[in-house]
Structure 1
Amino acid sequence: MKTFIRLIVLIAPHWKSMLLATVLGFLTVASGVGLMATSAFLIAGAALHPPVLELMKAIVGVRFFGISRAIFRYLERYFAHDATFRVLSRIRVWFYTALEPLVPARLMEYRSGELVSRIMADVGTLEQFYLQVLAPPLVALLVLLGVFAFLAWFGLSLALALLFFFLATAVAVPLGVRALSRGTGRQMVETRSALNTQMVDTVQGMTEIAAFNRAGQQQEQVKALSSKFMDLQGRLAGIRGLSSALVGLLINLAMWSILLLAIPLVNQGKLDGVYLAMLVLGALSSFEAVLPLPMVFQHLEESLAAARRLFAVTDIAPVVRDLPGPSPEPLSYDLRVRGLRFRYAPDEPWAVDGLNFVLPEGDRLAIVGPSGAGKSTLVNLFLRFWDYEEGSISLGEHELKAFSLEDLRRYISVVTQHTYLFNATVRENLLLAKPGAGEEELRQAAREAKIHEFIQSLPRGYDTYVGERGFKLSGGQRQRLAIARALLKNASVLLLDEATAGLDPVTELEVMESIHRLMEGRTTLVITHRLTGLDRMDEILVLERGRIVERGRHQELLEQGGLYRKMWELQNELTPV
């Protein structure tokens, strides 16, 4: 019940359009009832050969209800789908707004395929919440009240007969369907999610699956999930068929019951025989409103299961909370770290343990160390993907936590090892850094990153698509695009996180030249386990297990003969003197 109420509250801002669509749905069915009733009355009346003028009201009624039904049906479809798409848009925006603050800290335990399934399939399931769960019972209730009053005018027994079969069709059959399909909707949502997740993993890992000859095993897993999903769909199809048969039976029983009750009234002179067909066919056409009801509980179960999966994500508290209010203006762009300590979980060791250093504005600081030393954790803390537990980080003499996340990240450019390029054009990927940049700005940034000539050689230049994750480009070209993007952003602080990792030595040297141009005039923090080009750094910090074990310039650290010297020798395959 709690999930249902939360879902209602979520879509409540669009109640006006949903109410309008519901009223139009009622008017559509009511016009159908009116059309059948007046048509039956017209035919029955015409059989008595009265003057044509006596039939004019019925003739006008048939025309009116025939035209109004078409108009109301069109308007009902229009406003119902308009309301549905508005609700769907609201749910998507709501989910993304709740999801964004959770990245990356709170979403590490979720597989990407599972998140895609929740964003696409679960949100898509809620698309039908109004059309298939909320609207049909409301329309049916309004139709029941209207037709009950109409029949009661001619005979209360007729109205009560309609009420019995209407409730049997609208309540008893759906409850029976619910009992037969209990849990099936939830299983379908979960199985569909598992299948989508498996398919995403299969597509993303296609190369590894083929390389290790695991295609058969992966295919069996997909086949098993597909079979389970098809079995659930088959079960629901069978239940739908049974419910349709029951509904048809009850509708026909309702028609015959009203007919059998009305005939004695005609014989007793309490009812004019000309109304007999009108009452029976009018009551029969009113059951159009209950046709969607048998599957309401099934759709409700699916919707609630999908909503619970979405709420399970959105209810997670963000690790980092954005403070309201204006951000301070940094007095400078120096970075100061004092007594910094951080760990990812209370039962885990410190990833960063008591760091102290100062990076003056415009200087270059490199942080090196073996894998797991805490280097990338610093990038996460500087960008406030996580918040540190002890100590402080300040930018321009203001604590990082005093800045809003948007303002803080406006001051910082980042180039990482795994540059993400969207399946879009070169131009669109570059404009992520500065959407309003002009053509000359774009080209100048590409020239400084030494990639302009390559872009010009592409079939469509800057309008060439780079493929998903930029697979049409080499590793070096992707990194140069990342550098061009950072140049275009022109932020005062630059973070480089393993920006040349994975590149061959020649490409690495070429990219490093572009990186050094990018560093000019910027406060630069270089995170790397590669020691190429560090002789240009103003200071180097060597981390081990989250602590600074050595610090100094490149030559000084080599002369000390410590961890930095060992890393240098391993990288360059030198023999110690």
Structure 2
Amino acid sequence: MRGTRGDAGGGGGMTPVLKLARPYLGQLVGAGLLAAATEVAGVALMATATWLLMTAAGQPPLNALTVAIVSVRALAIGRGVLRYTERLTGHDAVLRILTDVRARVFATLAGQRTAARSGDSLSRVVSDVDAVQDLLLRVLVPGAAAATVGVLAVGGAALISPAAATALVVGLLGAGVALPAAATASTRHIAARVAPLRGTLANDAVDLTHGAADLAAYGATGAALRAARERADELARLERRLATAGWAVDAAGVLVSGATAAAVAVVALRAGVDGVLVGVLAVGTLAAVETCLALVAAARQWTGLRTPLARVSALLTPPPPVAAQPVDLADITVRYRADGPPALDGVRVDLPAGRRLAVVGPSGAGKSTLLAALAEWGGSPREVGGLLAEAHVFHATVRENLLLGRPDATDDDLASAAAAAGLLDWVREQPDTWDTVVGEDGGQLSGGQRQRLALARAVLLDPAVLLLDEPTEGLDPAAADEVLAGVLAAARGAVVLVTHRLRGLAGLDEIIVLDGGRVVSRGTHAELVETPGWYRDQWLAQEAAERGYVAARP
């Protein structure tokens, strides 16, 4: 009865991203054409301005220069307009693509039951997704523009001197092929280590920030800081190596550009080309080679982007389809043996529709493990799901937090779930009611309100089997009794409740007592309180403690 979930593979880096880019393909192609037109205008501007200056030195009639003067002005203005339009078009398309990619990545991370809300997850949502922007704007668009300029520059040089065009081809191949290959070879292995290391450093930042009090209490702050500093030093060392390799390739690019211009000029002079056109060829060559050197930066970017893109691709690639297995949710029986989930041995759970089951026991008994195993067993959160340990509250409105698992719920559904969790009165007191923003991780709420919000979200989900892990934690005894009763009354399917608090369990169908991953006793509340053992002892101790708490209240 247990389904198998496939892990998304890394797969072909760019392929999933390019699939999401298809709706914006027209804009991206337009941006590429505009980028090519911008670079062509730049090369033409340099060549025309050179011809104008060298020809004007011979003091010809002014009308002989009129066309060149107008062309220089038109090309200078047109280049700026084209660049602005290209950036506007390209960035508009890329930002729309990034929105889709980030939403898909977040949805995948949110849907992974075992995925930690870690610094590495944050790195994937932010830094790695930004690699998609660099792929499109700094690799594909400049590459297409450089290739277009190279072809047109060679064609223009061939009209003046085929021999000079041959020299230009050699220079362009060096600048557009050899140097990018060298840049890739010199940075590939280093760049592959940078992205994961940044994710590790993000984890370090989360641990050092949120775990500062515990680290200080156990005297481990120094060791944690030293480990984080070592990783930061390693990242800095790798980035210095990348910078050094980049400097060497850039210096080689300057040499290739100058050598190509000199070779073109020499070849053109030997071929008997007019001196003015030799100057035009030399300056045009400098501009064309400089444009093709953009491929070096594109190759360097691509090398650094391969690992982040693979990490993003793993979250965009859907898992392989799994054949659906029919499950009768009206009568579920799950048996865990020694080869089942860790810490569970011989545990049997029967969940006919409407059954109310509690799982109790000492710390480390396997309660949360059993609940997590049930959650993993479920085909989807609408079948088996609910409030698990450390439920996250998003920096969004109350409505958006509640609708997470059931986007089609109405306001009446929201009100019913909030009432069951004891949250409705608080919501109605807020000026923005359902649109009240709760802050990062529910920071604008008290601990009890935060717990009620997470609990209301679980009730609204309305799964066939509702899982509840310590649903009344942080609430005072009276409120805890009221909330638990409201949730049990609102749940239409079966309920599995993990709790350390034994009060309020009298009306449940069955209570399972775990210890060491095994069932040590099971029965109704009335049966267990009459039987000597852990449950009876805990019940008496908790009853005495809560009576003392009530008596001490003013």
TM over 0.5: yes
| CA distance 1:365–1:239, shift in 2 (3 Å) | closer
Q: Residue in 1 aligned with 2:383?
A: 408
Three-state SS of the structure 2 residue aligned to 1:499 is coil
TM-aligned CA distance change 1:360 to 1:33, over 3 Å: closer
Describe the SS at the equivalent of 1:386.
helix
Q: Does the aligned pair in 2 maintain the 1:417–1:499 contact within 8 Å? A: no
- The answer as to 2:113 corresponding to 1:104 is yes
In the alignment, does 2:449 pair up with 1:477? yes
The unaligned stretches of length 5 or more in structure 1 are: 388-399
1:38 is matched with: 48
Superposition map of 1:170-569 within 5 A: 170-265=176-271, 270-311=272-313, 321=322, 323=324, 335-338=330-333, 340-342=334-336, 346=339, 351=344, 353=346, 355=348, 357-359=350-352, 361=354, 364-380=356-372, 385-387=375-377, 405=380, 407-408=382-383, 414-416=386-388, 418-426=390-398, 428-430=400-402, 432=404, 446=418, 449-451=421-423, 465-485=437-457, 494-501=466-473, 503=474, 507-520=476-489, 522-523=491-492, 524-544=495-515, 548-569=519-540
Kindly state the Cα deviation for residue 31 of structure 1 after the two structures are TM-superposed.
Answer: 1.0
CA contact (8 A) 1:136 1:293 kept: yes
Q: What is the count of residue pairs matched by the alignment?
A: 532
Shift of 1:356: 5.2
2:376 is paired with a residue of what secondary structure? coil
Q: 1:321 to 1:498 in 2, by over 3 A?
A: farther
TM-score scaled to structure 1, two decimals? 0.78
Indicate conservation of the 8 Å contact 2:181/2:299, yes or no.
yes
Aligned CA distance change for structure 1 residues 3 and 469 (closer, same or farther; 3 Å): closer
Q: 1:258 to 1:528 in 2, by over 3 A?
A: same
- How many angstroms apart in 1 are the aligned matches of 2:117 and 2:455? 29
Determine the structure 2 residue equivalent to 1:396. Answer: none
Among 39, 60, 67, the alignment partner of 2:77 is: 67
1:19, CA displacement in angstroms?
Answer: 3.3
CA contact (8 A) 1:352 1:374 kept: no
Relative distance call for 1:316 and 1:89 in structure 2 (3 A) is: closer
Identity of aligned residues (%): 32
Structure 2 CA distance for partners of 1:444 and 1:194, relative to 1, 3 Å: closer
Match among 22, 27, 30 for residue 20 of structure 1: 30
- CA shift for structure 1 position 150: 1.0
CA contact (8 A) 2:10 2:310 kept: yes
- Report how far residue 486 of structure 1 moved: 5.0
Measure, in 2, the Cα distance between the counterparts of 1:273 and 1:47: 12
Q: Is contact 1:542–1:564 with CA below 8 Å preserved after alignment? A: yes
Q: C-alpha distance in 2, partners of 1:261/1:217?
A: 66
Greater shift, 125-134 or 546-555, is seen at: 546-555
SS at match of 2:332: strand
What RMSD in Å do the two structures reach over aligned CA positions? 3.9
Contact 1:366 1:527 in 2 (8 A): yes
Partners of 2:291 and 2:280 in 1: how far apart? 18
444-453 or 492-501, which deviates more? 444-453
Per-residue CA deviation, residues 432-478 of structure 1 (Å, 9 max, x unaligned), is: 47667777876676566445565677798766654433345443332
- On the 8 A contact 1:33/1:282 being kept in 2, the answer is yes
Secondary structure of 1:20's counterpart equals helix
Q: Deviations over 1:141-167 (max 9, x none)?
A: 222221111111111221122122222
Alpha-carbon spacing, 1:379–1:143, altered in 2? closer, same or farther (3 Å): same
Letter in 2 for 1:40: T
Q: How much has 1:279 moved relative to structure 2?
A: 2.3
- Please report how far the alpha carbon of residue 7 of structure 1 lies from its aligned counterpart in structure 2 after TM superposition: 1.8
Gaps of 5+ in 2: 1-8, 546-554
**Is the CA contact 2:164–2:268 (under 8 Å) kept in the aligned structure 1?**
yes
Q: TM-score, normalised by structure 2?
A: 0.81
Whose relative contact order is higher, 1 or 2, with alpha carbons under 8 Å and at least 6 apart?
2
